[in-house]
Structure 1
């Protein structure tokens, strides 16, 4: 756990958002803005890491308001310290937290830059609130397309000072927020007057995310689930849809007609290894057995997941070579073509949007998962409407076991058509240029939850859920200490008892030896007495013999 999570470590979590807000208010009264920023970051991380909040808790205006209040107090002091600048204004600043070599939001930044709608060379600012950013990644991903600035390592209040100082100098016409869920610095810095327009790009869309409810931003959702949820459930009626854009790399001619099916899944490990009723690692060996083909997995995977897959293959007597693991690729699109994939299976329990778009662009038929938890889990609404959705593993296996290549050819065309309509560069540019009048996304598919299974999951995984585990950690730690102390005491008692046993045995041996010596001494004494007695009787007999002789003379 990061140090910024101290708000939840070692104590019960907050019973209400008001209780948390009151704690932050007390810090604001004392002007301890750094601690307030830390508390907010720690609170969000505590919530978002808990399985029970995923695809259920998305936003809270109290948290956003607290961040804005901190920024509103700090900004004037920074304005006085940084007088008006005479330098030319920049067209756009992209304010993010940090980047990854593999990850959707890092790719989104590149896609937005490539539209040319944000100036010739936007400035990319990273708050790096966890002091963990890799400074080499921005240059590797974007080269000279952006000017890069990363907050120096330090406290959150120092990072907020840095952000304001940079923004007051740059005076951007447009500020795009692509912050991580917990980045209290970015949201505090996004004051209404720091740019002519502020865009909140809601990429942290399936968990609690700071900034979601800001009213002075253009709220952008990058997929249908987020757009409709924010509009209907969160009441953000002015949000717009900017479709995810993936560069068109063309389609391939299918050459493996009549051969065994080649399937593929792609995504980071968290998309496959969440606690869930169905396990990806258990289904893959059955899938390979049913299709008689090969399954390719693209993305990092834990040793445990890979071992479970390999064990499953062994149990079914399937050659290990029919499962191919590729930890990283520069382009999922190219990888799907290179491995001649026939069907792309979306990741589950947590679906991935960008990889599915690459598959559709490449004309690869898709099979998605209709999650009983939420449409945010399965990501079914990212797919072309005709894509098959499975609810149970048996449905998946039956479908793949019976699908024919004529159907796959038809779905290949449907997948490509969906990509061309919604996910090309032109589609994204059209949405950006339209402002508040951007085209709306396609409607959502019907989705039914399973309250009973959700409840059973909550029961089954209760002790593993982040906040519960955090709350009971001190108790478990104390229990561990008690067990250790008891073990030490038991060992000491055993050692003492063992020592006493050894001493008793030694005393018994010594006693036996003394008894033996006494017995031997007694026998010796008896023998001597017997000898003495015999000697006395002999002498008396000799005396009597002499006396008799004297009488008879």
Structure 2
């Protein structure tokens, strides 16, 4: 056997990552190790198919823990002895990747802070992805909270790891609650040395894709909705996970929808940012909302950022079909979806697709607004319908979507509105649930709370197969075109170094297969007429 054949075999991408991280840790190149892990998880998130199949990885968590423990021993093992850390029962620390004006993370953190009771709370944000904008903190929708907020606003990943370990050591909390974004290796690496010193709760909110921390050694695993709880218990084999429901403060009877079809017009609404409706999907949000406006009078309100190109596309299509573009109302941002639904007299909420929103669904039910949800053919994680009240309006194919819009009556809306509000009061009302007591029971290991059962899920497996086949065909076609244009063999795109990442997490997750998503979406429109006429 020659010397060349004796070189180490590259068994898999993970094996290569493990070897690289081991070498970096051995050489005390902790920043490189953190970057390697962050970039690897980002790559898997973008390329994962089918989505929702991979939520956590024990071996990735062990790798991140190895970085954290080695780092801690190297820099802090002799300075702060294990026995010298004395947890303070009056202190809680909530650690997150960032505070953002959009999405459900910041309001969730606000709820957690308010549930700490007498404890003094500090919110630590690593900003490890560099994705917080200037106005995110001011508009983060934390609500009224009594907490000290500290953001690490500079430095590479190892600088942020130093900062986070030092903050935890200084504060000596009796509770550390983690709300990390999927690939934030800094938070999990920093948390591991403290799982033997104090209570560490992994609050599994980034649960629709691969996320670090699902199997964090010594941490208390908390899931916040029924889909996540069942998935982690059954598929991820997290045998001792706990459930604590997402709750929202009740705005009261003045903010509950009671009168529907004002002036005999149907007002519908959806709320989402681009990463929830711009991914390639056979039934595109932009197209079906136009179908909704054609099927029945009234207005559709979109709350959340929508790219200008998407708005122009929708206006152009509406004019082609003789629909007044003013019937599409665009609200880029609101501090309270609940209040916006009432203020705009919304009769029916159309859950965003292909990806829905869990907290969004709860706000809608709090307002007593009926819901039309989608049976996603890719994964039940994306539809969020398991969080909605029983027997909500449901569609799987476009003709079912338009049938609901066309045939819905005042009596239907009245009955669904009452069920929507009742379900919120039973399962998600802060004043009725008692989040502080539930968190105390979880920390004590005595909680027996279980989520509502999941609904039957019957995805169309043909659509699912065609979806992935089409993406693969597009990827092959793109590779061939690239080959012809450059006269070189196509190679896999290299991992982007952390320092050069300029896209936000929202922008990144809106990609399905790297830069092919937008092109794939445009080309896929040619398939839509055939698929929707079945």
Q: TM-score, normalised by structure 1?
A: 0.79
Measure how far apart 1:135 and its partner are: 6.4
User: Aligned partners of 2:468 and 2:183: how far apart in 1?
Assistant: 24
Q: Is residue 85–residue 169 contact of structure 1 (8 Å, CA) maintained in 2?
A: no
Q: What is the RMSD of the two structures over their aligned residues, measured on CA atoms?
A: 2.5
Measure how far apart 1:192 and its partner are: 5.0
CA separation of 1:408 and 1:88: change in aligned 2, threshold 3 A? closer
Secondary structure of the corresponding residue to residue 181 of structure 2: coil
User: Aligned partners of 1:416 and 1:107: how far apart in 2?
Assistant: 20
Q: Is residue 175–residue 198 contact of structure 1 (8 Å, CA) maintained in 2?
A: yes
CA separation of 1:421 and 1:89: change in aligned 2, threshold 3 A? closer
Secondary structure of the corresponding residue to residue 251 of structure 2: coil
For residues 95-494 of structure 1, the aligned pairs below 5 Å read 95-117=95-117, 119-134=118-133, 137-138=136-137, 141=140, 142=142, 145-193=146-194, 195-250=197-252, 251-254=256-259, 256-257=261-262, 259-425=264-430, 426-427=432-433, 428-435=435-442, 436=445, 437-462=447-472, 480-481=485-486
Larger helix percent: 1
Q: Is residue 90–residue 170 contact of structure 1 (8 Å, CA) maintained in 2?
A: no
Structure 2 residue aligned with 1:486: none
Runs of 5+ consecutive residues of structure 1 not aligned to the other structure: 1-12, 484-553
Q: Is residue 431–residue 438 contact of structure 1 (8 Å, CA) maintained in 2?
A: no
Q: Is residue 42–residue 183 contact of structure 2 (8 Å, CA) maintained in 1?
A: yes
Which sits farther off after the overlay, 287-296 or 15-24?
15-24
1:29 aligns with 2:26: yes
Measure how far apart 1:239 and its partner are: 1.0
The one-character-per-residue Cα deviations of 1:421-469 (angstroms, maximum 9, x if unpaired) are 111113234532331424111111111233332232222223777xx99
Measure how far apart 1:395 and its partner are: 0.3
Larger radius of gyration: 1
1:47 to 22, 31, 44: 44
Q: Is residue 381–residue 445 contact of structure 1 (8 Å, CA) maintained in 2?
A: yes
Measure how far apart 1:420 and its partner are: 0.3
CA separation of 1:137 and 1:122: change in aligned 2, threshold 3 A? farther
User: Aligned partners of 1:289 and 1:191: how far apart in 2?
Assistant: 55
Q: Is residue 201–residue 221 contact of structure 2 (8 Å, CA) maintained in 1?
A: yes
Q: Is residue 38–residue 184 contact of structure 2 (8 Å, CA) maintained in 1?
A: yes
The one-character-per-residue Cα deviations of 1:277-329 (angstroms, maximum 9, x if unpaired) are 10111111111111212111100011232122212211210111111011111
CA separation of 1:452 and 1:85: change in aligned 2, threshold 3 A? closer
Secondary structure of the corresponding residue to residue 35 of structure 1: helix
Measure how far apart 1:481 and its partner are: 4.9
The one-character-per-residue Cα deviations of 1:310-358 (angstroms, maximum 9, x if unpaired) are 1221121011111101111111111111110110010000011111111
Measure how far apart 1:396 and its partner are: 1.1
Q: TM-score, normalised by structure 2?
A: 0.81
Q: Is residue 34–residue 157 contact of structure 1 (8 Å, CA) maintained in 2?
A: yes
Measure how far apart 1:108 and its partner are: 0.4
User: Aligned partners of 1:53 and 1:80: how far apart in 2?
Assistant: 46
Which sits farther off after the overlay, 407-416 or 434-443?
434-443
CA separation of 1:255 and 1:59: change in aligned 2, threshold 3 A? closer
CA separation of 1:345 and 1:255: change in aligned 2, threshold 3 A? closer
User: Aligned partners of 1:358 and 1:461: how far apart in 2?
Assistant: 34
Q: Is residue 367–residue 390 contact of structure 1 (8 Å, CA) maintained in 2?
A: yes
Measure how far apart 1:136 and its partner are: 5.7
User: Aligned partners of 1:134 and 1:120: how far apart in 2?
Assistant: 30
Q: Is residue 90–residue 171 contact of structure 1 (8 Å, CA) maintained in 2?
A: no
Measure how far apart 1:16 and its partner are: 4.2
User: Aligned partners of 1:211 and 1:360: how far apart in 2?
Assistant: 31
Which sits farther off after the overlay, 341-350 or 246-255?
246-255
Q: Is residue 363–residue 415 contact of structure 1 (8 Å, CA) maintained in 2?
A: yes
Structure 1 residue aligned with 2:510: none
Q: Is residue 123–residue 147 contact of structure 1 (8 Å, CA) maintained in 2?
A: yes
CA separation of 1:140 and 1:344: change in aligned 2, threshold 3 A? closer
User: Aligned partners of 2:11 and 2:411: how far apart in 1?
Assistant: 56
Equivalenced residue count is 465
CA separation of 1:361 and 1:292: change in aligned 2, threshold 3 A? same
Which sits farther off after the overlay, 77-86 or 421-430?
77-86
User: Aligned partners of 1:85 and 1:352: how far apart in 2?
Assistant: 39
User: Aligned partners of 1:215 and 1:74: how far apart in 2?
Assistant: 17
Runs of 5+ consecutive residues of structure 2 not aligned to the other structure: 1-9, 489-534
Q: Is residue 129–residue 184 contact of structure 2 (8 Å, CA) maintained in 1?
A: no
User: Aligned partners of 1:66 and 1:274: how far apart in 2?
Assistant: 31
Measure how far apart 1:89 and its partner are: 6.8
Measure how far apart 1:144 and its partner are: 6.3
1:78 to 76, 85, 104: 76
The one-character-per-residue Cα deviations of 1:82-140 (angstroms, maximum 9, x if unpaired) are 575899675111111112111111110011112244x4431111112133434664455
Secondary structure of the corresponding residue to residue 201 of structure 1: strand
Q: Is residue 161–residue 190 contact of structure 2 (8 Å, CA) maintained in 1?
A: yes
Measure how far apart 1:241 and its partner are: 1.3
Secondary structure of the corresponding residue to residue 377 of structure 2: coil
Higher relative contact order (CA 8 A, sep 6+): 2
CA separation of 1:197 and 1:476: change in aligned 2, threshold 3 A? farther
CA separation of 1:368 and 1:191: change in aligned 2, threshold 3 A? same
Secondary structure of the corresponding residue to residue 110 of structure 1: helix
User: Aligned partners of 2:260 and 2:408: how far apart in 1?
Assistant: 17
User: Aligned partners of 2:50 and 2:123: how far apart in 1?
Assistant: 30
Measure how far apart 1:79 and its partner are: 4.1
